[in-house]
Amino acid sequence: MSRRPVRIANFSGYLGDRFSALSEVLAGDPVDVLVGDYLAEITLAALAARSPEGGYVGYALAQLQPHLPVIAERGLKVVTNAGGFRPEALAAALREHIAAAGLALRVAHIEGDNLLPHLDELRAAGHPFTHLDTGAPLSSWGVEPAAANAYLGGAGIAAALQAGADIVIAGRVTDASLTSGPAAWWHGWSTDAWNELAGAVLAGHVIECGPHATGGNFSGFASIPRPLRLGYPIAEVAADGSSVITKHVADGGAVTVDTVTAQLVYEIQGPHYLNPDVTVHLEDTVLTLEAPDRVRICGTTGTPPPPTAKIALFAPLGYQMVMTTFATAPDVEAKVALLRAQLHEQFGAPEQGIDELEVVQLGVPAADPETEWEATVAVRIIATARDREVLSRGRFAAHVHALFLASYPGFFTDTAATPVHEPRARIGYWPALLPAAVVAHDVVLDDATVIAIPVPAASSPANQPVHPEPEPLPGGPTRRLPLGTVAHARSGDKGANANVGVWVSDERAWPWLRSLLTVEEVRRLVPDAKDLDIVRHELPHLRAVHLVLRGLLAPASGSTLRVDQAAKSVGEHLRARLVDIPEELLS
């Protein structure tokens, strides 16, 4: 007999999410499992650079510690990837707090994702760690990795819960595994229950970013009720893998078909969403609003996962420093050009030791500025160097500040802000693949028992479907308006690539949207991508076009010189562009 749906509540979408979120979730509606996601690729890069608290996320420990008695009293399960590079250390720290409180909670952790100690051995065995985007071998990188982690699936989490763990601490598992693992444990799914696992992975993908699913970072934000303090989502995952996405009744925000779609199309590879436990097929996924703040996800199917595991490698590339000045109209472009030329004259020679130097104008002054601020734009200065000394001790900053009396008219900085004098570390990211069978996946229980997790018994090629360019639609009356007048978008990062999902709420608008967003038109609408390889897919049931702008964030998110390092605003830029919209869609 099937169990009721398991209620899985997210309480963290990234390192730095609202600290009070766990308190709010525990004060909300009843749930069975609490999941906290902390490890974006940029977060791993930051941990690699700073390695705080011995390599794990101390922020999560501070969140959990006061609530351990309530977690024990209610019999809740907690699953988190806050273990970072050292899940065993976070597990040990939690056990100390649990013992001090006299509680009986059991803590397990996941091992095997940390490949750094085995990197030389793996390379010697003939694994080149070929870059997923460029095809270059790791040996060509020119720097030595400081971290190398495999993306593990949810099978270890399920096994840990089955063995009696109350809290499971993972490192680099996929974000969705925090949900699919508990769902597999709750329902007792076999490791080849592909459709069920696929549905749970998709539910996990929707709630992994916390308030994203309740109206956060949503292009329709103006329609979201009580937006000042958005609540956190809940996934009710049924025995067949279908789910209902909802939220705590008393909290702000909303769960709608559009807020769920926004997360479904966020940071995916395409219609086939590759995970270590299963390949999720999004082509037939259907969303239905069953009741206010209750969106059902069904129709998702799954096939075996790819035979490879994704590997995230990080290495120190040197240092960078960012400073901001301001320029006020008129002649802003000429002023920025003068500043750029002055800095390149000072630092452009190779003997200066600066590798990259960019001066970028952010924004455009109003045509007839009524206030000084309508006339003013920010000017971002970023410099990188392998040697810290080139940028440190105020050397670079001092030269910028020395231009106050010698550069363009109206040169100023925000003197009320904390001045930047020292650079910070710059971390590079290298995505690669390994045969899944090479990667260990172990559960370590609180009595030191180790449970080895085998790789899935079957695999399938990591292929994406090919969608031909659409044919143009018959003409008719149109109005030239921003794309966002009728379309939503959500964008994000995947290594060096940017992902953009664009969709329409109105079924009538779908043929027009798919016909509009050809690769050629996307190149026109996003000039930064005009020379890039653009991968385009269609998701008709979601009324969405999914785009991958390959190399937009090169060399990678976190080390790109772009201001929008994680491509969060690319979708909004696309929505701001003027296109010809059929008048019938504007009624």
- Work out the pLDDT band at 48, boundaries 50, 70, 90: low
- Asked if 321 and 382 touch (Cβ cutoff 8 Å), the reply is yes
Q: What is the pLDDT of residue 349?
A: 79
Closest by CA to 66, choosing from 100, 107, 106, 35, is: 100
The pLDDT value given to residue 1 = 54
Reported confidence tier of residue 44, pLDDT bands at 50, 70, 90: confident
DSSP, res 252: B
Residue 558 in this model has a pLDDT that exceeds 90: no
Share of the chain above pLDDT 70, in %: 98
Condensed to tens digits (0 to 9), the pLDDT of residues 248-300 reads 999 999 999 999 999 999 999 999 999 999 999 999 999 999 999 999 999 99
Side-by-side strand order, sheet with 301-303: 272-274, 279-281, 301-303
Whether this prediction's pTM lies above 0.85 is answered by yes
Pick the CATH number of 316-428 from 3.40.50, 3.30.420, 3.40.1000, 3.30.70: 3.30.70
d(CA 242, CA 12): 23
pLDDT digits (tens, 9 = 90+) for 479-491: 999 999 999 999 9
Residue found under tokens 């934000």 = 221
Q: How far apart are CA 152 and CA 145, in angstroms?
A: 20
pLDDT of res. 51: 54
Tell me the C-alpha distance between 98 and 228, whole Å. 35
Going from N- to C-terminal start, the domains of the chain cover 6-113+151-302, 316-428, 478-585
Amino acid at 93: A
**Ordered DSSP codes for 485-543:** GTEEEEEEEETTEEEEEEEESSGGGHHHHHHH--HHHHHHH-GGGTTSEEEEEEEGGGT
Question: What end-to-end distance do the CA atoms of the chain give, in Å?
Answer: 50
User: Percent of the chain scored above 90 by pLDDT?
Assistant: 89
Residue 52 predicted with pLDDT over 70: no
